[in-house]
């Protein structure tokens, strides 16, 4: 499963990536089949919801997606008569807001690990507890980020290249490529910016002669 585009939550004056999908609970509890078409592997649910915590309550305030017939589906069409926001009284669970630098990228769901997770405990749409889980600290060798088109992690042992700019016309990320020359490499994003220029060393070769590389900043 491809890493998924998160929902958006407005909380404490900031916009956060939200790695939780409260609207899926609504469909499950009501028995209503989701009308959204999944037209992108990074957005299997077929929509992006914008949420808000106001007066300790969770509200759905925006919705963007399309039906299987190609028609645009918004908050007003899914919840007619509710005005500009819908109180998420159906949802009980933990909302996860990742914060800080990426520690480990995982190409599936919301399984990537960041330096911190802000965890919001919700009961029947009401915020009852806020906590922060610390997962570690990025080292000096880690650089870039999904938005920059590349990610260097694990103390330089792992380099991830995001080759598709503005993935699924939703992410707003740059694309990037890696250029090898001798034992040097350049990571270049779509804006032409060189992120890092590590020295490439072969740290192990398999029986087939394929080398495992490490970038040393």
* Boundaries of domain holding 94: 7-134
pLDDT at 141 over 90: no
Q: Assess whether 105 and 173 both reside in one domain.
A: no
Q: Assess whether 21 and 101 both reside in one domain.
A: yes
Which of 99, 134, 169 is where one domain is finished? 134
Which of 94, 113, 134 is where one domain is finished? 134
- Give the chain's domain count: 2
pLDDT of res. 86: 97
Mean pLDDT of 152-166: 69
pTM of the complete model = 0.69
pLDDT of res. 199: 47
Q: Assess whether 17 and 106 both reside in one domain.
A: yes
Q: Assess whether 106 and 198 both reside in one domain.
A: no
Residue 2 lies in a domain: no
3-state secondary structure string, the chain? CCECCCEEEEECCEEEEECCCHHHHHHHHHCCCCCECCCCCCCCCCEEEEEEEECCEEEEEEEEEEECCCCEECHHHHCCCCCCCEECCCCCEEEEEEEEEEEECCCCECCCEEEEEEEEEEECCEEEEEEEEECCCCCCCCEEEHHHCEEEEHHHCEEEECCCCCHHHCCCCCCEEEEEECCEEEEEECCCCECCCCEEEEEEECCCCCEEEEEEC
35-65 pLDDT, tens per residue? Answer: 999 988 889 999 999 999 999 999 999 999 9
173-215 pLDDT, tens per residue? Answer: 677 777 665 545 555 555 555 554 444 444 444 444 444 444 4
Residue 15 lies in a domain: yes
Q: Assess whether 171 and 93 both reside in one domain.
A: no
Q: Assess whether 191 and 101 both reside in one domain.
A: no
């Amino acid at each position: 499963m491809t890493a998924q585009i998160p929902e958006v939550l407005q909380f404490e004056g900031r916009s956060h990536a939200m790695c939780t999908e409260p609207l899926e609970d609504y469909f499950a509890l009501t028995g209503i089949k989701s009308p959204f078409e999944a037209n992108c592997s990074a957005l299997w649910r077929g929509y992006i919801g914008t949420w808000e915590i106001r007066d300790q309550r969770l509200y759905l305030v925006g919705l963007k997606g399309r039906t299987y017939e190609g028609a645009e589906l918004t908050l007003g069409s899914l919840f007619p008569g509710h005005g500009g926001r819908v109180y998420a009284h159906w949802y009980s669970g933990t909302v996860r807001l990742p914060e800080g630098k990426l520690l480990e990228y995982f190409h599936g769901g919301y399984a990537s690990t960041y330096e911190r997770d802000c965890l919001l405990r919700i009961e029947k749409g009401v915020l009852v507890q806020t906590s922060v889980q610390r997962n570690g600290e990025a080292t000096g060798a880690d650089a870039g980020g999904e938005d920059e088109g590349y990610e260097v992690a694990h103390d330089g042992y792992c380099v991830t290249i995001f080759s598709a700019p503005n993935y699924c016309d939703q992410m707003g990320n740059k694309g990037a490529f890696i250029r090898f020359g001798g034992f040097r490499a350049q990571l270049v994003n779509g804006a032409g910016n060189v992120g890092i220029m590590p020295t490439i060393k072969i740290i192990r070769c398999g029986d087939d002669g394929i080398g495992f590389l490490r970038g040393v900043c």
